[in-house]
């Protein structure tokens, strides 16, 4: 159990794992350098220990600077081989070669790999010519070196595919949730329209009958009574239809899902309910004299922007929402540090972005949305307050 916990801890702390690997290689190699004795091997020395450390200790930075690590350990190992010094025996070089493939990609990776293979091959050729290395090393060493790089490259590709697949699954799950919410919203809107039609029809009928009854109250009490009875029956029918339709609009807690239109003051609650996103709100404005229509549009812009972050940004570490006044306009800005959507102008904007543009255009404002410098996405809307 302790071993499993230790492996799990090392996976969660890659820097510590690399430092532990480099320390283990360094200790084993130094002990081997100091204790190994052979007639063809030079005796241990201070310079031998320094070179041994140079061929192993840089492995601690293999993830962050694999190119530098490969150069450092390869040069140290070649010097040790040139002077017949006992040490790690190309182990550090193989670890560095694997790290190069695992943490670098593209044309740069294979250019560096070919250059390193060429240098090592020339070094072995010189060793074979002087009788310091067997001719078999001319074949085996480059093959092992290239195999280490290819193996690291394969691990990197599988890791990237796993991350991409996880992001796709997460994005698909969010889109399914958003689609389900949208369907519920559409259904409730349809029911609300039906409610409006039913109530409006019945209330109109009640008004007509009540007016007729009032006119006939003095001259024909019987007809007035019949008209009032019709008003009563119509009212009962309207109440029955309202109860039936509002019953469909109730949520799981039994509360009627009908509320006043949201305003700017409700943005804090909207962000508070966005627990799946690291959102920060920056708002320092007086909401007293902002028209209700502009407040509603500002709220919807923030709401739709956060929805787009969930759908398209992938992993995000920070989302900033700011609301401010500037030159007589209300300025809403939503910035994230995620992957962002495509900046290709040939891609048509989504319905959410179109809706935001329509809301801003209704008040003769401006909206800009696109990738920002340093990565991520930025939505900025400016709505003249006089337009309200």
Find tokens 């006089």 and name the residue. Answer: 386
- Helix intervals (H) in 256-332: 267-272, 292-312
Segments making up each domain of the chain, as ranges: 2-135, 179-248, 264-387
CA distance 56 to 69: 9
CATH architecture group of domain 264-387: 2-Layer Sandwich (3.30)
The reported pLDDT for the residue numbered 332 is 92
Token digits of residue 230: 């019709």
What is the pLDDT at residue 343? Answer: 41
Cα–Cα dist 47/53, whole Å: 10
- The CATH architecture of the domain made up of 179-248 is Up-down Bundle (1.20)
Q: How far apart (Å, rounded) are the C-alpha atoms in residues 356 and 368?
A: 10
* pLDDT above 70 coverage of the chain, percent: 81
Measure CA of the first residue to CA of the last residue in the chain; give whole Å: 66
Q: How far apart are CA 384 and CA 388, in angstroms?
A: 8
Give the lowest-confidence range in 37-41, 95-99, 375-379. Answer: 37-41
Separation CA 95–CA 145 (nearest Å):
10
* Residues 6+ away with beta carbon under 8 Å from 121: 138, 141, 142
Backbone dihedral angles phi then psi of residue 72, each to the nearest 5 degrees: -65, -50
Lowest pLDDT segment from 228-242, 343-357, 369-383: 343-357
Tens of pLDDT, residue by residue over 116-140, are 888 888 888 887 887 777 787 778 8
Instruction: Give the mean model confidence (pLDDT) for residues 60-80.
Output: 88
**DSSP code at position 266:** G
The stretch 242-258 carries a mean pLDDT of 54
Helix crossing, 107-129 with 66-82: angle to 10°?
Answer: 0
In the structure, what pLDDT confidence band is assigned to residue 366 with cuts at 50, 70 and 90? very high
Model confidence at 259: pLDDT above 60: no
> pTM of the prediction?
0.47
* pLDDT for 61 beyond 70: yes
Residue 347 pLDDT > 50, yes or no?
Answer: no
Buried/exposed 118-136: b ≥16 CB within 10 Å, e otherwise: eebbebbeebeeeeebeee
C-beta separation of 246 from 256 below 8 A = yes
Give me the DSSP letters along 351-367: HHHHHHHHHHHHTT-EE
CB 54 within 8 A of CB 76: yes
Tokens of 306: 């956060």
As beta bridge partners, residue 320 has: 280, 335
């Amino acid at each position: 159990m302790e071993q499993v916990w230790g492996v799990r801890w090392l996976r969660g702390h890659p820097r510590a794992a690399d430092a532990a690997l480099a320390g283990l290689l360094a200790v084993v190699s130094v002990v081997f350098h100091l204790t190994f004795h052979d007639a063809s091997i030079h005796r241990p020395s201070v310079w031998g220990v320094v070179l041994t450390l140079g061929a192993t200790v840089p492995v601690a930075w293999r993830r962050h600077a694999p190119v530098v690590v490969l150069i450092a350990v390869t040069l140290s190992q070649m010097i040790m081989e040139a002077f017949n010094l006992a040490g790690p025996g190309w182990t550090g070089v193989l670890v560095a070669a694997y790290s190069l493939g695992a943490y670098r990609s593209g044309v740069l990776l294979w250019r560096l790999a070919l250059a390193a293979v060429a240098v090592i091959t020339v070094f072995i050729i010189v060793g074979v010519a002087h009788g310091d290395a067997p001719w078999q090393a001319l074949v085996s060493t480059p093959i092992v070196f290239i195999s280490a790089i290819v193996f690291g490259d394969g691990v990197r590709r599988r890791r990237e595919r796993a991350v991409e697949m996880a992001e796709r699954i997460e994005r698909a799950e969010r889109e399914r949730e958003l689609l389900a919410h949208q369907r519920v919203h559409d259904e409730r809107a349809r029911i609300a329209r039906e409610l409006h039609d039913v109530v409006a029809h019945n209330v109109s009928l009640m008004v007509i009958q009540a007016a007729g009854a009032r006119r006939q109250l003095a001259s024909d009490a019987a007809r007035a009574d019949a008209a009032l009875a019709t008003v009563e029956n119509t009212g009962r029918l309207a109440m029955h239809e309202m109860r039936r339709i509002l019953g469909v609009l109730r949520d799981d807690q039994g509360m009627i899902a009908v509320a006043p239109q949201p305003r700017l003051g409700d943005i804090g609650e909207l962000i508070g309910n966005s627990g799946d996103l690291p959102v920060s709100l920056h708002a320092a404005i007086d909401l007293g004299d902002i028209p209700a229509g502009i407040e509603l549009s500002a709220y919807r812009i923030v709401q739709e922007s956060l929805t787009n972050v969930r759908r398209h940004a992938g992993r995000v570490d920070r989302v900033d929402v700011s609301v401010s006044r500037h030159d007589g306009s209300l300025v809403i800005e939503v910035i994230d540090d995620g992957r962002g959507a495509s900046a290709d102008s040939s891609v048509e904007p989504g319905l959410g972005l179109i809706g935001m543009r329509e809301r801003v255009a209704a008040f003769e404002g401006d909206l800009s949305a696109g990738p920002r410098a340093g990565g991520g996405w930025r939505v900025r809307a400016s709505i003249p307050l006089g337009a309200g």
